[in-house]
Amino acid sequence: MIKKFSEIYRENETNHLLTGNGFNMHFKYDSSYKNIFEQMKNSSKISRDFYDEEFTKIVEDCKYDIELVLEKCLPLLKERAIRSLEQEDNISLLKPESIALRLQKTIGLLEQDDTVSPERKRFFGLLRQNPAIREQIINNIIPQMQKKSKPNFIKDQMSKSIMAIKSSFFGLLVGIMMEDTEKKRERVAKFIEKFSNSNIFTLNYDSLLYKIGIDLRNRSKSTGKSEWKMNDGFIEEGGRIFWKKGDEQNLFYIHGTLLFLSRKKRRRKF
């Protein structure tokens, strides 16, 4: 039986809150997976050739579940990678002369690399000075590289496709949270304040609660009033972000969060 919020909320008592996608929808943030996939279909980040009828069917059959889509689309991505390999530009990568050229460039780079041991540097120097020996070694290596190049190319193409789906999907989700107004955020803030002395648990990946927490913290500093003091347990020290267990935590991301960005091997929050 569905009950109204007013029927279960008790003033001056500890009321914990669990939010899901319905929480966002109520406050006019359509972060449903179906909406995100619909936006992805029309997004410039994903080409029309990629988001075709085959991919659309997979998405619909998976009921717009991103985790399931990523799993079920693998055979399609492999088939597309194989078709891509058959294109003239990519076939040329497997030709002996193309592989030989890449190996010669690699030998030159390794000879100049300061991390390579002196013994190996001398070896690469000898190869450079003796074209006949270098050519013989390269010719012996070419069949092995041809054998490995095809599966490596397919794997690489599939990885790029998976990354394109992920970055587009989660980029659009973050964008939905960014495209808001002060009036919309104020409505959420007023609701959240009712749980200022409680714990909030969320099933959502997005940054809505985090943004509201920042708004309330800034307002508390300017007005001096005691607002909801968000503490998600993550702290930053020495340029690193990590979770620290403590009794002060009051916001829990049960399914993880999109609040962290990785830049130059460093993670930071929005």
Looking at the structure, tell me whether residues 154 and 37 fall in a common domain. Answer: yes
The last residue of one of the domains, among 179, 194, 223, is 179
Looking at the structure, tell me whether residues 149 and 227 fall in a common domain. Answer: no
Looking at the structure, tell me whether residues 73 and 169 fall in a common domain. Answer: yes
Looking at the structure, tell me whether residues 169 and 244 fall in a common domain. Answer: no
Among 82-86, 128-132, 148-152, which stretch is predicted with the lowest mean pLDDT?
148-152
In tens, the pLDDT along 208-258 reads: 887 887 777 777 666 666 566 778 887 777 767 777 777 788 888 887 776
Q: In this structure, what token pair is assigned to residue 60?
A: 């619909």
Show contacts of 246-251: CB within 8 Å, 24+ apart: 249/199, 250/198, 250/199, 250/200, 251/199, 251/200, 251/202, 251/209, 251/210, 251/213
Q: 């088939």: which residue's tokens? A: 79
Number of structural domains in the chain? 2
Q: Which domain holds residue 240?
A: 5-29+181-269
Looking at the structure, tell me whether residues 58 and 117 fall in a common domain. Answer: yes
Looking at the structure, tell me whether residues 175 and 76 fall in a common domain. Answer: yes
Looking at the structure, tell me whether residues 72 and 153 fall in a common domain. Answer: yes
What is the layout of strands, in order, in the sheet containing 17-19? 17-19, 200-202, 251-253
Q: Looking at mean pLDDT, say which of 48-52, 121-125, 133-137, 163-167 comes out highest.
A: 163-167
Other Cβ atoms closer than 10 A to 73: 20
Rounded CA-CA distance 30/14 in Å is 29
Looking at the structure, tell me whether residues 174 and 69 fall in a common domain. Answer: yes
Helix (H) / strand (E) containing 211 = helix 208-223
Looking at the structure, tell me whether residues 113 and 189 fall in a common domain. Answer: no
Rounded CA-CA distance 154/84 in Å is 9
The last residue of one of the domains, among 155, 179, 203, is 179
Rounded CA-CA distance 147/220 in Å is 64
Looking at the structure, tell me whether residues 212 and 80 fall in a common domain. Answer: no
